[in-house]
């Protein structure tokens, strides 16, 4: 259980275009159960800790749309909106700058289109990061995998691999120092940035429900999950 004395923050990154979703609007704005995906995601963090500062990073062109959606849905949950950058790395860096006045604590970086993160995983991730500096949510592979090279494929041991999810939690000073590095193509997530900085990455067990909404089929799953939760 995370000590109440540890300050918690969340940076929600929402920069998807919706191309693989085959949608006319960015996927973070698509409705599930009548509300935009992003509202569901923000509510999960607020439910975990109502006092947690929430930083929402959006492309500049999409900020007016978000404000309009908040007005339409009477969504008044407190959060700070930050303009995203040209890459995920730059967007997270902008989100960190919004926390410049904060000296310590644990910050989670989370995909805006993962609206099914739960309290148990959040508690484990924040607690592990508070103790060890890092905590990255990941799950085991259910399917067999093959390595493909030069037109040939070879079976590999799936038990040696994990599928990485978010949130990815870090002590705030550590993540801030790691993001002072120059950006390189290897940086596909926050763990890769911190690992390059020389810090060990701790893994926390995630959930197969913690899906990243990417394709139309994911929206069907999302609706089913919400219906199931409503029936509890």
pLDDT in tens, 192-217: 999 999 999 999 999 999 999 999 99
Residue 21 has pLDDT above 60, yes or no: no
Torsion sign across C-alpha atoms 122, 124, 128, 131: positive
Average pLDDT over residues 9-13: 99
* pLDDT given for residue 23 in this prediction: 62
Q: Are 169 and 125 within 8 A, CB to CB?
A: yes
Averaged over 30-53, what is the pLDDT? 96
pLDDT at 143: 95
| pLDDT tens by residue, 56-108 | 999 999 999 999 999 999 999 999 999 999 999 999 999 999 999 999 999 99
Enclosing H/E stretch for 6: none
Residues 6 or more apart in contact with residue 66 via CB below 8 angstroms: 29, 38, 56, 58, 81
Task: With cut-offs at 50, 70 and 90, classify the pLDDT of residue 15.
Answer: confident
pLDDT single digits (tens) 111-166: 999 999 999 999 999 999 999 999 999 999 999 999 999 889 999 999 999 999 99
Q: What is the pTM of this model?
A: 0.94
Q: Give the per-residue pLDDT at 2.
A: 66
CB 204 within 8 A of CB 124: yes
Domain boundaries, the chain: 8-230
User: What band does 230 get if pLDDT is binned at 50, 70 and 90?
Assistant: confident
pLDDT the model gives residue 16 = 57
Given a cut of 80, is residue 231 above it in pLDDT? Answer: no
The CATH number corresponding to 8-230 among 2.30.29.30, 3.90.550.10, 3.40.1360.10, 1.10.3720.10 equals: 3.90.550.10
Q: Check if the beta carbon of residue 142 is closer than 8 Å to that of residue 209.
A: no
pLDDT band at 19 (very low <50, low <70, confident <90, very high): low
Structure letter (DSSP) for residue 100: T
- CA nearest neighbour of 93 among 185, 33, 183: 183
Q: Report the pLDDT value the prediction gives residue 229, as an integer from 0 to 100.
A: 87
């Amino acid at each position: 259980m995370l000590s109440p004395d540890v300050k918690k923050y969340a940076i929600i990154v929402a920069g998807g275009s919706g191309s693989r979703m085959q949608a006319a609007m960015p996927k973070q704005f698509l409705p599930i159960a009548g509300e935009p995906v992003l509202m569901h995601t923000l509510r999960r963090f607020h439910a975990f800790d109502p006092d947690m500062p929430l930083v929402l990073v959006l492309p500049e062109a999409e900020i007016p749309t978000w404000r309009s959606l908040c007005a339409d849905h009477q969504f008044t949950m407190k959060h700070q909106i930050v303009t995203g950058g040209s890459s995920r790395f730059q967007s997270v860096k902008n989100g960190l700058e919004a926390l410049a006045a904060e000296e310590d604590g644990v910050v989670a970086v989370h995909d805006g289109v993962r609206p099914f993160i739960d309290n148990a995983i959040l508690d484990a991730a924040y607690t592990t990061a508070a103790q060890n500096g890092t905590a990255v949510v990941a799950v085991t592979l259910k399917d067999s995998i093959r390595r493909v090279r030069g037109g040939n494929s070879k079976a590999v041991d799936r038990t040696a691999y994990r599928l990485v999810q978010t949130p990815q939690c870090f002590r705030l000073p550590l993540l801030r120092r790691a993001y002072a590095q120059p950006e390189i193509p290897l940086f596909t997530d926050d763990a890769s940035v911190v690992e390059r900085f020389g810090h060990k990455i701790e893994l926390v067990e995630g959930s197969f429900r913690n899906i990243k909404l990417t394709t139309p089929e994911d929206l069907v799953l999302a609706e089913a999950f919400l219906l199931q939760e409503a029936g509890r």
